[in-house]
Amino acid sequence: MQLTYSEIWTGIEKLAESKGLSLSALAVKAGLDPTSFNKSKRIGADGRKRWPSTESMNKVLQATNTTIFEFMELAGEPYRPKAQVIPLLGLAQAGRDGYFDSDGYPLGTEAWDGIEFPFSLNMPVYALEVSGNSMEPAYRDGDKLVVSPDSEIRKGDRVVVKLCSGEVMVKELQYQSARQLELKSLNPLHADISLQRSEVVWMARVIWVSQ
pTM, whole model, 2 decimals?
0.64
Q: Residue 51 has what pLDDT? A: 87
Q: Residue 82 has what pLDDT? A: 65
Residue 86's φ and ψ, nearest 5 degrees, are -105, 130
Give the CATH class of 84-210.
Answer: mainly beta
Q: Are strands 168-176 and 180-184 parallel, antiparallel or unpaired?
A: antiparallel
Residue type, 131: S
Matching fold, domains 5-75 and 84-210: no
Specify whether domain 5-75 bears CATH 3.40.50.410. no
Query: Which helix (H) or strand (E) covers residue 117, if one does?
Result: strand 113-117
Query: Which helix (H) or strand (E) covers residue 203, if one does?
Result: strand 200-210
- What are the boundaries of each domain within the chain? 5-75, 84-210
* Mean per-residue pLDDT pooled into runs of 10, the chain (211 residues): 81 93 94 91 86 88 88 76 84 92 94 85 90 90 94 92 94 95 94 95 92 70
